[in-house]
Structure 1
Amino acid sequence: MNILTRFRDIMASNIHAMLDKAEDPGKLIDQYLRNLNRDLGKVKSDTATVMAEEQRAKRALDECQADMDKMQNYAIKALEAGNDADARKFLERKATIAEEETGLKEAYDLAASNASKMRQMHDKLVSDIRELESRKNMIKGKLSVAKTQERINRIQSSVGSANNSKSAFDRIEEKANQAMDRANAMSELNSPPKDNMNDLMAKYNNSNTDSGIDDELAALKESLQKKNNK
């Protein structure tokens, strides 16, 4: 049946494909529920059509059975009036209507079965939407927590990168110190040898000077002493 096939197509929507394309799962939840409610409106309309068909088939069957009962009653009345020929005509009409009843009964049974299936699927969709509505806030809460965790993870990653940068700076500084030490060593190696002879000579020169001063000081003291003795 086209209505049932269309309903199955609606219920078979590929939520996984929607998830793959979704940038914000929270918005997807709202969109998915909007789609389901829109589909529910279509299902309600189709269900009402099928139920109306069931009611029409039931009325047709009831009218047919009422006509059969009517022909039966007229046949009885004709017999009671002693008119067998009229009774036969009523029974013949009843037999013709009975043949129609078979087809009408089959049509009604099918319509009733389709209406029952549609009501079940309609009720199932309503139940699913209610369940999803009740779970929506819980799911959004989980998504919010997940986003917070992702931000924390990014911050932790940034802190880790900063630590790595600090370690890299330490290594660069160590290399700079090594380079400085090598440069100083090379500068020392490139300097001409120091001549210590001048220093050595100055040592003795200073010693001679100090000795002369001491002699002059002793002579001055001696001169003063002689002067005082006079």
Structure 2
Amino acid sequence: MSNTSRIRNILRSKTSRGLDKVEDPRELLDNSYDQMVRLLQQVRQGLAEVATAKKRIELQGQEMGARYTRLGSQAQEAMDQGREDLARTALERRVLLEHQVSTLRTQFDALQRQTAGLQDKERHLAERVSAFRIEKETIKATYSASQAQVRANEALGGIGSQMNDVSDSIDRARDRVAQMRARAAATDELLTSGALRDLTESPDADLERQLAALATDADVESQLRAMKNARVSSPRQGSISPGEEPDAWLSIGQTPGTP
């Protein structure tokens, strides 16, 4: 594979991984879940605000109720003391307070209905968030398992981009090893033939090798002549074995008569 093709595969692999990361369904599910949680928090915040307003109206209504009772008592006391004018004033204020309480009660009933509606929505939304969380985690786990299975199958089948890179690396390594072995064998042959000079050898190493070869040839010829002479003089001796003794190996290479 050429360098251009290799670079193209690497860029394509990175681009594919980038797109997979952007389109990762796990992130989409997490974002959707976060939006639902924020919506649930907003509903609960609104419910708390409505409950606070309702409680404030309830406390104000209790104060008005206490005043309404007190004005009734004051009107009765004024009549008992013959002060009809004071009784009239207390009753007028009491009637005015009745209208205020009626308006306040209307607001309280509206907040009561709004609270009930928000509580119902909060309950259903909380159930949906809980159900979606379970489904989200299930889908994420299934996606992760499937993704791992795909990667394992691609690795086993050798079809993944990473395995392709590994295969290319192995092929290049094998080529380099083969080239190096061929080069080593060629340089050995050149050194042996003398075409290349071994700088670590002595200046007369080539003469020493040739003389050693001649000495070896002479030794072989000498042993052959000895075998022929021994065969002519003693036809029964068909072996040149030094013997079966444990120390017989010490006599290997020794000429007869050598101590």
In terms of fraction of residues, the more helix-rich structure is 1
With structure 2 as the length reference, what TM-score do the two structures score? 0.45
Based on CA coordinates, which of the two structures has the bigger radius of gyration? 1
With structure 1 as the length reference, what TM-score do the two structures score? 0.50
